[in-house]
Amino acid sequence: VFSSYGCDLHIDNELVANAFAALPKQEQSILILFCVLELGDGEIGGLMGMSRSAVQRHRTKTLNELQKKLKAHLPEGG
């Protein structure tokens, strides 16, 4: 279970949980607020003291990194 701003993200898959745990806390918070609370980049930025564009950059970069890490564990052609 990962928490940010009073919101919990439950990840049952060990591989995904380990990849998420390896992220910096700021990136974890951005993804929790975006995916669980479904906040927009501007709303997240307001909570975290960041600009909307900075949140968007962090979110996009982090999701791409997670995707690459997880794809590396898929069987060939997966």
pLDDT digits (tens, 9 = 90+) for 17-74: 999 999 999 999 999 999 999 999 999 999 999 999 999 999 999 999 999 989 988 7
pTM tops 0.85? yes
How far apart are alpha carbons 1 and 73 in whole angstroms?
Answer: 22
pLDDT at 78: 54
Domain 2-71 part of CATH 1.10.10.10: yes
State residue 74's pLDDT score: 79
- Listed by start position, the domains of the chain span 2-71
What's residue 75's pLDDT?
Answer: 78
* Longest distance between any two alpha carbons in the chain, whole Å: 42
